[in-house]
Amino acid sequence: MLGSAPSLFRHGPPAWVRLSIFLLLAVSMMVVDARWRVLDVARQYIGVAVYPFQYVMLLPRDAARQLTDWLDTAERIRAEDEAQRQRRIEVAQLATYAAQLLEENAQLRRLLGAAQQAPADPAVLVELLYESRTQVEQRLIINKGEFAGIKAGNPLIDQNGVVGQVVRAGSVTSEVALLTDRVVSVPVQVLRNGVRAIAFPAATPGKLELRYVPVDADILVDDLLVTSGLGGWFPAGLPVARVEEVAHDPVTGYARVVAQPVAGLDRYRHFLVLRTSGTDLQSIEPSAAPPAEEAAESSQGAPAAMPSRAKPEVAG
CATH code, domain with 269: 2.40.10.340
Find the radius of gyration of the CA atoms of the chain: 40
Q: What is the pTM of this model?
A: 0.55
pLDDT of residue 167: 93
The answer on 28 and 170 residing in a single domain is no
The answer on 129 and 239 residing in a single domain is yes
The answer on 252 and 136 residing in a single domain is yes
Q: Which pairs with CB-CB distance under 8 Å and at least 24 residues apart come from 130-135?
A: 131/266, 132/175
Residue 73 lies in a domain: yes
Residue 6 lies in a domain: no
Residue 118 lies in a domain: no
Residue 305 lies in a domain: no
pLDDT of residue 286: 52
The answer on 131 and 175 residing in a single domain is yes
The answer on 265 and 139 residing in a single domain is yes
Give the residue from 113, 148, 183 where a domain finishes.
113
Residue spans of the chain under pLDDT 70 = 1-11, 104-121, 135, 280-316
The answer on 145 and 86 residing in a single domain is no
If one counts the domains in the chain, the total is 2
Q: Cα 251 vs. chain centroid, distance in angstroms?
A: 45
Residue 109 lies in a domain: yes
- CA dist., res. 202 & res. 160, Å (int): 20
The answer on 253 and 139 residing in a single domain is yes
Alpha helix locations (H) across the chain? 15-36, 40-112, 281-284, 292-299
pLDDT of residue 123: 84
- CA dist., res. 93 & res. 72, Å (int): 32
Mean pLDDT score of the chain, rounded to an integer? Answer: 78
- Is residue 182 within 8 A of residue 93, CB to CB? The reply is no
Residue 8 lies in a domain: no
pLDDT of residue 267: 76
The answer on 133 and 85 residing in a single domain is no
Alpha helix locations (H) across 113-179? none
- CA dist., res. 270 & res. 281, Å (int): 33
The answer on 151 and 258 residing in a single domain is yes
The answer on 235 and 149 residing in a single domain is yes
- List the domain range (segments joined by +) for residue 145: 123-274
Residue 57 lies in a domain: yes
The answer on 148 and 248 residing in a single domain is yes
pLDDT of residue 277: 84
Residue 298 lies in a domain: no
The answer on 244 and 130 residing in a single domain is yes
Give the residue from 85, 113, 141 where a domain finishes.
113
- CA dist., res. 135 & res. 46, Å (int): 76
Give the residue from 113, 133, 164 where a domain finishes.
113
